[in-house]
Structure 1
Amino acid sequence: MKAVAKRYEVKPKEKKIYYQTFRGHIYDCLKVLKCYFEQNHKVIISFCRKWGIQPEDLMRSLFISVYLHDIGKLTNQFQKRIQENKRSQKYPHPFFGFPVAFEIFRTKIPSVYPVGGYPIEPLAVLSHHTQLHNTIYRDAEIRRIIPQKQEMLGFINDIQKAYASLEFAKFFEFTWSNCEKLAAVNLLEKEGAPGKILNLIRTYKSDKLENTSLDEMVTIKSLYTFFISIVKLCDFYSSAHFSDFCTQNLPEQQVLESVMENPQQYVLTIPGLSSDEILKGNSPYLFQSKMQEEATPYSFLFAPCGRGKTEAALLWALEICRKFSKNKIIFAMPTQTTSNALLDRFKKILDKAGCNGKDLVGLYHGKSFIKLKEDIRKEKEETDELDQDDIEEIKSEKFKGNIFFKPITVTTVDHLILSFLHGFPQADFACGNLQGAVIVFDEIHYYELQTLKHLVDLFVVLQKMGIPHLLMSGTLPEFIKNRLRREKDSQETYSEVHDDEGLSFTPFKIESFHVPLIEKGEVNNEVLQEIQENYSKNLNQFIILNTVRRAQQFYEAVTKNVDTDSVHLIHSQFTYSDRTVKEIELIETLREKKKRPLIVVSTQVIEISLDISCDVMYTELAPIDSLGQRAGRLNRQGTSWKVDDHKFLMRIFLPENNLPYNEDILEKTEKTLQDGIYSYQSLKGICDAVYGQEYLEEFERNGTLEGAYCLLKFGGKPSLFEECFLFGPKYNRIAFSEEEGNRFVIRTGSYRKFDVVPELYYGYDEKKLSVENQAKVPYWWICLDERIHGPEELQWFEHVERHFTWKKKLYWICRLPYCKNYGFDSSVLEKENENIGMENIL
């Protein structure tokens, strides 16, 4: 049998085994590469211009690297084991291909960008299966191999034939002089070869790199990740295509050559959407036209809720892609719920424009596979269960979102930040795709200080990499703008666009009451009576509390006198599945069924996650920017606080305590905020008065960060970006997941939380331990259980293990009563905790 690169089993009625020849796989990879060059030629030219590289040189290096990336498979051990269907982890082909690529780029072909004097291209061969890190392959049990010397040299010397037959001459000139031998090929069969290859890898981590400047690190990171992302694109999707080809065609022959006929399906391009299609036929607001006509690569957009910021951002992104030759659009959202909603919104826009939104818009966040699963279920008949093909499709869609594969991807800022920091296994793949992207950050004011600090650092890196980005906000505090203006490493200033018309509207009136909405479980009776009167007037009302427990207590009080079908409770302690269903039902009730009257009792989750509106709002005092977000759910898209006889009122009450907010900011908000009629422009003024001009800079001078690293250097903490611009810590040393940091922490919170499965849903069925059935609850709950009952005699929690093929995982079960309309009943905890104060554990 010829040397093979791929093995795939198809199991229709009887098992069929297919192989793809080594040469066939490489040619399929090169077909994807050629298509990438054709579709993204302007992108490559723009990228190379940024770094002072000739596009022909970069394309030549990519061609050679893709051609050589699997050369380590031409060994006796790999060929024997692939035919026996055995893994080759003791004979890793990227490891053994690395010295071959190193010698060729060191002696035969000049490197497009040497790193510390060594060619950058061999690193793409080394890392096309395992992301670069400090100990890559060092702890692996690698054994000596026997190279198939003649096959290796013969294949290498046939590179000119591949160049000619696949017509790469239209992209770059290339002439190969045959070599009769390579020292690296001879090295592979020698005793001690693995150790010598490890030493060769260490040369890239020499003292020369330790004194590298930040600007040089950014250059290396950008070039390397762009390079590896294209190599991995060619390798991954040619392999996936071979599997699909075998499954769909069941060919008679067992050993196949090149099977790639339509590489365009793996090199997608941004759809050409018109302004009319994006705005659904409506005339653009002045600020929307300005965003498109005056599009600059680094911009602020200040516009209130409900005015079409997202559409303006999409117009800007498409124009920037056209002007600056970019090939991807990324929307970075503050929450998973907003990410899910935006995915649906973009898919509808594209579908109406005659494009296939599902093919062109991707999604990624910590629980995106649940959303993807729900969408596939909707496409099937209600009685159909998901089959194996559906599961594979979900995995594929999740992977595509993870690496920003599609022309448009909606994600969270957490995932975006980790893409630049080796924060997950495919981070370099994702970071490489971002080199040709434009990025939109929504609700930039919404993040707490630690996250803002990381974001400011990220904006510096984005500017240095030449990645255009837009920062959007409904309040746009001056302290954020000032901090970016004063950033010594920023290379360009940010332009600003304001929705002056929308900012001048006065959609609500604020009335403050210096009494609590609820105190020690007792709800304000006057407010309750008023809510009942408003209900009888057919008004929609939102009541927003600062804690889950107070929201639950208020919900209980309201439902004693109002039909429970008209009262919705929204907070963060529902299971992911229950909360998703509740939010979808609420949006459908308000926006599609237009049901009245309606009462929504919520926590601050309503501030960002739900695009809904009410007639009257009751809220506990919160920081001014949070109040601004809540106000965006009152008379949304309205222009005046008074319409006919109805007044749109935001009634603010004192909270029982300051948690989860900063007490000083609450006090400043209370003192600064006066009763009266408000526009979003006037709310911004109060926001600036509360936070001051240097709020973030004061934090940088005097504050502390959780975690061992900052993105860039801060307060004695090392820069994670500088440590992992090429190698660095392994991904799981940086973050356990998008939602849980390890040595790098993106978000902090007043409460430490952990995931539990309600006992009601568990029922001692391992399958019910899935993420859909998990909810986040305060860490102090289990601390209280341990303190009262002891760690071995827990009454409210138990832990169970689920065993998988290659690992076991620990899950926490919560025995507290739970229902999908209320969440957990934690009243027993509150009573036991009265004299202990465990809720202050962070």
Structure 2
Amino acid sequence: MLKAKPGQSLAGHIGDTVYVANQYWHEHESVLAGRLDKLNLCPRKTRQLLLFIAATHDAGKASNRWQHYIDGYGPRITHAAPSLIVAAAGFGINQPDQIYQLLDEEICALQAILSHHGQLYSGAFQSEYIKALGTLELKMDDLVATVVNACEPDNPYATNLFGMWKKGLLRQICYGFNLAKWARALEDHVTFIQRPSKKIRLKSLYSLFHTLLRLADHEASRAYGQLDKAKPERVWGTILSSDNFTEYRPLLAINFKDTFTKFSTESVVGKTPNPIQTLLAEEEHPNVILKAPCGCGKTGAALLYASSFFANVQANRMILVLPTQVTSNSMYSSLQQRYLLPPAQVGIYHSELEDVLRQTGPRETEQEDYTDWFKDEKFLNSFYHKPVTVSTIDHLLYSLLHCHKYADRAFGSLLTSVVIFDEIHYYDNFTLPKIGEALSLLRRLQIPHLVMTATLPTAFVTELNKRARLQKTEYKLINALDHEPASAQAEPYQIQSQHQPMLVGKEVNPMLLALLTKFKGMRQMIIVNQVERAKRVALILKEKLPYENVVCYHSEFTRSDRILKEQVIHALFKPRGSRTTAERNLIQSFDLQNTDEVILVCTQVCELSLDISADVMYSEIAPADSLVQRGGRLHRRGTQSRKENCSCSYCQERSYLDQDHEYTMYLFPLPQYPGAQLPYQQEQLKATWENAPKVFSYVQVDAWIDVVYPEIPALRDPAMHDMIMEDVVFGRTPLERYGRGDVIASEGSFRVRDIDGGVSVVPVQFLQDFEQPETILRKYAIRLRWSKLSRLPEGSLRFDQDHNCFTLDLPYCWATGLSFP
């Protein structure tokens, strides 16, 4: 008997793989048919092709030497390359130089077989090791019978395979040098294609087969693994059937049809959508720009937009793309808690995924198979398999090239997705062209997507539609203000420009101190553009106002403190009477008062991460779009700047405010020293300052932002386009494209952001012998840029071999973070 596993026959594993592929096809048939229609393929024939490669993907295991290996008598050898030779016979060829005779989908199916244990790269299966394999003898009688029996009687590829075998055209002997020729022929076929549109179609076909085949193979192997643990004493045949499929808890066959059920029937948005949300729920255009003020319910609108594609069986995944890890984490939580999406169907992916899973998933003591759960979650989230995945823009762009080992699987998932780009205004001129290139690819592939923002220059919309029209399509712009008169007329706060910076020399501006004292007892927010200035302001205020709740928040706290900081801030910005006992205890545990007053000193990290509403705001000058985002944390959802004229929920609940209170953003210029304007450009700051309105309104925002951003970079990136073309099927490796997998920012040929990647450091005070190294990094690591570390005294930064991390010998405290000299 031929074996595929130590305890399962080859016929059994092939049967299970075909069963899973068939089950997944029937579950997602309408979605897959829609994608195949865009690729000009017949769904029935494509299904037969998929089932055939599922039946032949492990044909190479029928070789005598692989059977010796599985029985423990020899080294492991490749089985993917011999498998494709068997599959090729089903397409009527038996020589590598005949590949040109095949259809694109048949060639891509062979590439999927070759890649079913890992992505393909230039030179794959062409090494000296492959060429030196020598002779492999396949037991063709048993193998052909196994493949034919696994397929349906009318499968033309299985019929062809049987015919080739009967005619003696399917050789029983394979040679290593010939396997390398087959792999080379498959790579050459892609290399010789010049037209980008044909290459993208080929990548779509390949990624689809690659994704579905690896899905079926994984699920079949997983079923065997569960059974073998329970009953390891025998060799199993086919395991899966309609009677027991659900018993094996199929990870990869999640039912997308109930993803939005509870959201639609029980959430506030689902039951009582506002006008803009209603509009998006009925929108069918595949390319949409949604421009809506902060607090208008953009997320709910996006979910309704995506759910309509799910309901019409046009998509089975939603990928929600955000600019930062912090915003991704917040969205991941909101989707489950606020919008009631099933937790098992919501995924998240970014470089700190493991921390998120540990913080939000079950405790190790609560789940018996915690280790397996953790491993499975990381695996599924990495290639966007779940019905809903929250992702940073970095991972989405990295998935269009070979920047990580599951990129082609992620691309396959993308083909049946709706993609939501949130906070599109956030990105700089280095990243925007790359996003533009990604949008061009989505349009070419006819993947529906929604671009959302509160602040979008007219130049961006013009440029985006200019690119879209080259592909004979365009974006539909939906401006929430056109459909919500109340939001259009709202004037939630005033803007008052000050004459001197927040810091005058090394002291806080006396005017700022006077204002803070004037508004004592309120929720006040100070936003500073640089971490060191924010720490300086916070330290002085703690000294000058010792009895006030002064809280400092920026990006350079330890990971555990960042979480605590956010919890404390959200608690302090809640009405005192609605705080839970746990929140009151948390506030008091940090020597803060359980009152309605707080002075939050923070950096621009607040623009995207904090869902709070202040009564007074003080901000250093920043580009207009950043100020609009900051202002979204001042009198949130307010309609008039004077409390007595406003009927919003915040005004009603804040009884401590006088009726004549004016919500105000006080705007401060920057200190004058080299680099004080960073991370912004001086010309943008100048244009923002000179054109700042006296009263904020969203009607005026467009004109303000257009003055600051009269032009944007072209939304295309030729270098990225060339890399995508190179990585269509083979191409570069993740090491070449990204670099080492353990670094935060790319060190390879493709970078999403023009930033100093920096390094994670641990303050020496947290190095405790009883803590495991991975625990220390998870709790206490701080990400710092090399440019900042380079200014430290010699010896401050060291690599600790015992804890496998960089350590920083500087004082650290919960109040303000690291104390730099």
In structure 2, relative to structure 1, the CA distance for the partners of 1:758 and 1:136 (3 Å cut) is farther
Structure 1, 292-301 or 75-84: larger mean CA deviation: 75-84
Q: Distance in 1 between matches of 2:430 and 2:517?
A: 42
Which residue of structure 2 lines up, in the alignment, with residue 3 of structure 1? 2
One of 790, 793, 807 as aligned partner of 1:783 = 790
1:112-158 CA-to-partner distances (Å, cap 9, x unmatched) read: 995789722111111111201113234473452654522x4422233
TM-superposed CA distance for 1:515, in Å, is: 1.0
Task: Tell whether the 8 Å contact from 1:613 to 1:634 is kept in structure 2 after alignment.
Answer: yes
- Is 2:745 the counterpart of 1:740? yes
Which residue of structure 1 lines up, in the alignment, with residue 657 of structure 2? none
TM-superposed CA distance for 1:680, in Å, is: 2.3
Which residue of structure 1 lines up, in the alignment, with residue 78 of structure 2? 92
Q: Distance in 2 between matches of 1:338 and 1:659?
A: 22
TM-superposed CA distance for 1:773, in Å, is: 2.8
Task: Tell whether the 8 Å contact from 1:365 to 1:411 is kept in structure 2 after alignment.
Answer: yes
One of 209, 219, 226 as aligned partner of 1:244 = 226
One of 489, 498, 516 as aligned partner of 2:479 = 498
Q: Distance in 1 between matches of 2:757 and 2:411?
A: 30
- Is 2:44 the counterpart of 1:56? yes
- Is 2:765 the counterpart of 1:760? yes
Q: Distance in 2 between matches of 1:585 and 1:453?
A: 38
> Could you tell me the percent identity over the aligned residues?
27
Which residue of structure 1 lines up, in the alignment, with residue 781 of structure 2? 774
Question: SS of 1:363's equivalent?
Answer: strand
Task: Tell whether the 8 Å contact from 2:553 to 2:601 is kept in structure 1 after alignment.
Answer: yes
Task: Tell whether the 8 Å contact from 2:289 to 2:452 is kept in structure 1 after alignment.
Answer: yes
Which residue of structure 2 lines up, in the alignment, with residue 443 of structure 1? 423
- Is 2:642 the counterpart of 1:642? yes
Alignment of 1:692-703 (within 5 A): 692=710, 694-697=711-714
Which residue of structure 2 lines up, in the alignment, with residue 837 of structure 1? none
- Is 2:581 the counterpart of 1:578? no
Task: Tell whether the 8 Å contact from 1:303 to 1:503 is kept in structure 2 after alignment.
Answer: no
Which residue of structure 1 lines up, in the alignment, with residue 268 of structure 2? 279
Q: CA RMSD in A?
A: 2.9
Which residue of structure 2 lines up, in the alignment, with residue 543 of structure 1? 526
Which residue of structure 2 lines up, in the alignment, with residue 711 of structure 1? 720
In structure 2, relative to structure 1, the CA distance for the partners of 1:24 and 1:116 (3 Å cut) is closer
Question: SS of 2:450's equivalent?
Answer: strand
Which residue of structure 1 lines up, in the alignment, with residue 87 of structure 2? 101
Which residue of structure 2 lines up, in the alignment, with residue 834 of structure 1? none
One of 498, 512, 536 as aligned partner of 1:553 = 536
- Is 2:659 the counterpart of 1:677? no
TM-superposed CA distance for 1:561, in Å, is: 4.2
TM-superposed CA distance for 1:800, in Å, is: 3.2
TM-superposed CA distance for 1:604, in Å, is: 0.7
In structure 2, relative to structure 1, the CA distance for the partners of 1:599 and 1:113 (3 Å cut) is farther
- Is 2:509 the counterpart of 1:521? no
Which residue of structure 2 lines up, in the alignment, with residue 825 of structure 1? 819
One of 655, 659, 663 as aligned partner of 2:670 = 655
Q: Distance in 1 between matches of 2:320 and 2:125?
A: 35
Q: Distance in 2 between matches of 1:202 and 1:504?
A: 65
Q: Which amino acid in structure 2 is aligned with residue 94 of structure 1?
A: A
Q: Distance in 2 between matches of 1:219 and 1:783?
A: 47
One of 204, 207, 216 as aligned partner of 1:222 = 204
Which residue of structure 1 lines up, in the alignment, with residue 648 of structure 2? none
Q: Distance in 1 between matches of 2:555 and 2:126?
A: 43
- Is 2:477 the counterpart of 1:460? no
Which residue of structure 1 lines up, in the alignment, with residue 214 of structure 2? 232
Which residue of structure 1 lines up, in the alignment, with residue 585 of structure 2? none
Q: Distance in 2 between matches of 1:558 and 1:113?
A: 76
Question: SS of 2:369's equivalent?
Answer: helix
One of 722, 730, 737 as aligned partner of 1:727 = 730
Task: Tell whether the 8 Å contact from 1:759 to 1:813 is kept in structure 2 after alignment.
Answer: yes
Task: Tell whether the 8 Å contact from 2:347 to 2:389 is kept in structure 1 after alignment.
Answer: yes
TM-superposed CA distance for 1:504, in Å, is: 3.3
Task: Tell whether the 8 Å contact from 2:108 to 2:206 is kept in structure 1 after alignment.
Answer: yes
Task: Tell whether the 8 Å contact from 2:744 to 2:757 is kept in structure 1 after alignment.
Answer: no
TM-score using structure 1 length: 0.85
Question: SS of 1:798's equivalent?
Answer: strand
1:19-72 CA-to-partner distances (Å, cap 9, x unmatched) read: 222222222212211111111111121111101111111111111111111112
TM-superposed CA distance for 1:442, in Å, is: 0.3
Q: Distance in 2 between matches of 1:620 and 1:695?
A: 24
- Is 2:352 the counterpart of 1:367? yes
Q: Distance in 2 between matches of 1:202 and 1:520?
A: 67
In structure 2, relative to structure 1, the CA distance for the partners of 1:552 and 1:74 (3 Å cut) is same
Alignment of 1:798-837 (within 5 A): 798-801=798-801, 811-826=805-820, 828=821
In structure 2, relative to structure 1, the CA distance for the partners of 1:283 and 1:252 (3 Å cut) is closer
Q: Distance in 1 between matches of 2:168 and 2:547?
A: 78
In structure 2, relative to structure 1, the CA distance for the partners of 1:358 and 1:241 (3 Å cut) is farther
Question: SS of 1:62's equivalent?
Answer: helix
Task: Tell whether the 8 Å contact from 2:94 to 2:170 is kept in structure 1 after alignment.
Answer: no
Alignment of 1:319-334 (within 5 A): 319-323=308-312, 325-334=314-323
Task: Tell whether the 8 Å contact from 1:228 to 1:428 is kept in structure 2 after alignment.
Answer: yes
Alignment of 1:296-375 (within 5 A): 296-323=285-312, 325-348=314-337, 351=340, 357-375=342-360
TM-superposed CA distance for 1:206, in Å, is: 2.8
TM-superposed CA distance for 1:673, in Å, is: 1.6
Question: SS of 1:225's equivalent?
Answer: helix
Q: Distance in 2 between matches of 1:396 and 1:337?
A: 23
Q: Which amino acid in structure 1 is aligned with residue 640 of structure 2?
A: S
Task: Tell whether the 8 Å contact from 2:126 to 2:184 is kept in structure 1 after alignment.
Answer: no
TM-superposed CA distance for 1:287, in Å, is: 1.2
Task: Tell whether the 8 Å contact from 1:116 to 1:204 is kept in structure 2 after alignment.
Answer: no
Which residue of structure 2 lines up, in the alignment, with residue 12 of structure 1? none
Which residue of structure 2 lines up, in the alignment, with residue 15 of structure 1? none
Question: SS of 2:790's equivalent?
Answer: helix
Task: Tell whether the 8 Å contact from 2:3 to 2:67 is kept in structure 1 after alignment.
Answer: yes
1:275-326 CA-to-partner distances (Å, cap 9, x unmatched) read: 4434356532211111111331110101111111000000001112334621
Which residue of structure 2 lines up, in the alignment, with residue 257 of structure 1? 237
Which residue of structure 1 lines up, in the alignment, with residue 586 of structure 2? none
One of 30, 33, 38 as aligned partner of 1:42 = 30
In structure 2, relative to structure 1, the CA distance for the partners of 1:182 and 1:300 (3 Å cut) is farther
In structure 2, relative to structure 1, the CA distance for the partners of 1:779 and 1:265 (3 Å cut) is closer
Task: Tell whether the 8 Å contact from 1:619 to 1:650 is kept in structure 2 after alignment.
Answer: yes
Structure 1, 512-521 or 114-123: larger mean CA deviation: 114-123
In structure 2, relative to structure 1, the CA distance for the partners of 1:102 and 1:800 (3 Å cut) is farther
| Structure 2: tracts of 5 or more residues without a match | 581-594, 645-659
Q: Distance in 1 between matches of 2:267 and 2:128?
A: 52
- Is 2:450 the counterpart of 1:470? yes
| Structure 1: tracts of 5 or more residues without a match | 8-18, 713-718, 789-793, 804-809, 829-842
Alignment of 1:67-146 (within 5 A): 67-84=55-72, 88=76, 91-107=77-93, 114=102, 119-139=107-127, 141-142=129-130, 143-144=132-133
Which residue of structure 2 lines up, in the alignment, with residue 806 of structure 1? none
Task: Tell whether the 8 Å contact from 2:69 to 2:75 is kept in structure 1 after alignment.
Answer: yes
Q: Distance in 1 between matches of 2:573 and 2:682?
A: 35
Q: Distance in 1 between matches of 2:102 and 2:156?
A: 20
Task: Tell whether the 8 Å contact from 2:525 to 2:601 is kept in structure 1 after alignment.
Answer: yes
TM-superposed CA distance for 1:550, in Å, is: 0.6
Question: SS of 2:784's equivalent?
Answer: strand
1:76-135 CA-to-partner distances (Å, cap 9, x unmatched) read: 3333333439872xx122233233323433439999995789722111111111201113
Question: SS of 1:144's equivalent?
Answer: coil
Q: Distance in 2 between matches of 1:374 and 1:202?
A: 46
Q: Distance in 2 between matches of 1:112 and 1:636?
A: 62
Task: Tell whether the 8 Å contact from 1:113 to 1:119 is kept in structure 2 after alignment.
Answer: no
